[in-house]
């Protein structure tokens, strides 16, 4: 994971090792000051951090559902359907290229399904999420960290960003 010596993307530092335990000691918008288990600290894109329990779950405990992918799947399905209808109108001559470009401007959609795994692009929060069928977690963001506080914490643990479908 990339690190910075200050919450400023122009001041890069050495990257963090994968799976290195860290503790967040400060936040500034998307930025998080990570205190590493080896005593080193650096600023990171806090949206990429995953919270893990202090103790692993016992075998008798079922895996917890931290987020429901159905809302993102529904949004992707709706957006793809809208895009397909516009392509059909363009192909049928009912829409000119300029109107097509105007009506599709800003459209962002991404879904990759590989067996039980699915990667979904959350255009609203500009990030990729991975779901294994039981839980969903942020695995990549498309924009750089921001110093403004959005009021939301990274990842799906809040339950507010991915409401469960009925």
- pLDDT value of position 60: 45
Residue 24 pLDDT more than 60? yes
CA 73 to chain centre: 14
List beta partners, residue 26: 33
Confidence of residue 117 (pLDDT cuts 50, 70, 90): confident
Q: Which of 158, 101, 157, 150 is nearest to 126 (CA)?
A: 150
Reported as a single tens digit per residue, the pLDDT across 71-108 is: 889 999 999 999 999 999 999 999 999 999 999 998 88
CA distances for 111 relative to 10, 102, 128, angstroms: 32, 23, 9
- What is the C-alpha radius of gyration for the chain, rounded to an integer number of angstroms? 19
Per the CB < 8 A criterion, the answer to whether 57 and 36 are in contact is: no
Higher-pLDDT residue of 146, 11 = 11
List beta partners, residue 81: none
């Amino acid at each position: 994971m990339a690190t910075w010596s200050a919450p400023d993307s122009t001041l890069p530092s050495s990257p963090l090792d994968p799976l290195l335990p860290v503790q967040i000691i400060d936040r500034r918008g998307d930025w998080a000051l990570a205190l590493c288990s080896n005593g080193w600290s650096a600023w990171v894109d806090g949206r990429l951090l995953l919270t893990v329990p202090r103790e692993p779950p016992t075998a008798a405990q079922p895996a917890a559902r931290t987020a429901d992918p159905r809302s993102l799947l529904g949004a992707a399905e709706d957006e793809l359907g809208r895009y397909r209808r516009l392509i059909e109108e363009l192909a049928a001559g009912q829409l000119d290229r300029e109107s097509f470009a105007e009506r599709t401007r800003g459209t962002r959609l991404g879904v990759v399904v590989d067996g039980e795994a699915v990667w979904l692009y959350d255009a609203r929060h500009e990030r990729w999420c991975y779901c294994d069928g039981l839980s969903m977690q942020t695995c990549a963001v498309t924009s750089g960290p921001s110093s403004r506080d959005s009021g939301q914490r990274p990842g799906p643990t809040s339950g507010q960003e991915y409401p469960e479908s009925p």
